Amino acid sequence: MLAQRGSSNVQAVTPALGGACSSSSSSSSSSSTHGDDDDVQNVVITTPISGWFRCGGERGPGVALFLGLARWAMALGDPATSALGPAGYAAMPCTRFHFFGDSGHELQDYGARLMLASLPSRGLTPASVSSWLHLGASITTHASFAENGAGAGSGTKRGVMQYSSVALGKAVAAPLAAAGYAPAPTDDSTAGELRAIVDEGFTAWGFFGAFERFHTVFDDATSTSAELLGPVGTAVGQAMLNAVLAGPPAKSE
């Protein structure tokens, strides 16, 4: 995986992965960061990496899942470690994963605007990106907090899972629901940076929300926990796998 860091953003790009990669496309694309190879589908994963105050619950889950998915993608694309097994790996569409962590969310989405403006030069367009996952605010946090700051329960009542394609929504929803993670699904409402991604014409899905400590000085590392993130991370990985295997949505959507 090739990683780069700019003034406000972090980028990492995998080689072309999957058994369906031809020997020529795999070798020619192994060191490329560009998204304009006709025989490689591009999948983008983004998350903001800054916010108001300590933003433990607002940003922490998205950053943790972002890093976990980077490791997951590289393992998925390795025949020796792929969760798909030998036959599944052989049939995996040739895929390159692009990871962008953008700063300046609290400054009118400054980093996201820089990232979106850079996409054409990277060969990433709505036509070349098969799906885009945006890991927005407050993906999984505690539902309530005691006076001593200890969190309890899991709350997604103020969370939303948004998708821009009905077929994509169906592909990703089932693993999340099976894990008991069910923010309200919608295909007609977006917020935050996800709105800008959809407005650019990309086939995207993702999460955004709020919780009791949202945008306050009390939002620290105790707002979420590994116990909350573990099953959500597994489910998001399976949902991402479904999106990868589904490929680009039909042109009519």
- The per-residue pLDDT for range 209-239, each reduced to its tens digit, is 888 888 899 999 999 999 989 999 999 999 9
Task: Give the residue among 76, 214, 73 at the shortest CA–CA distance from 145.
Answer: 214
Task: Give the residue among 205, 215, 164, 209 at the shortest CA–CA distance from 183.
Answer: 209
- The mean predicted confidence, pLDDT, of the chain is 83
Which CATH architecture fits 2-246?
A: 3-Layer(aba) Sandwich (3.40)
Each residue's pLDDT tens digit, 134-154: 999 889 898 888 877 777 777
pTM: 0.88
Each residue's pLDDT tens digit, 45-89: 999 988 888 999 999 999 999 999 999 999 998 888 888 898 889
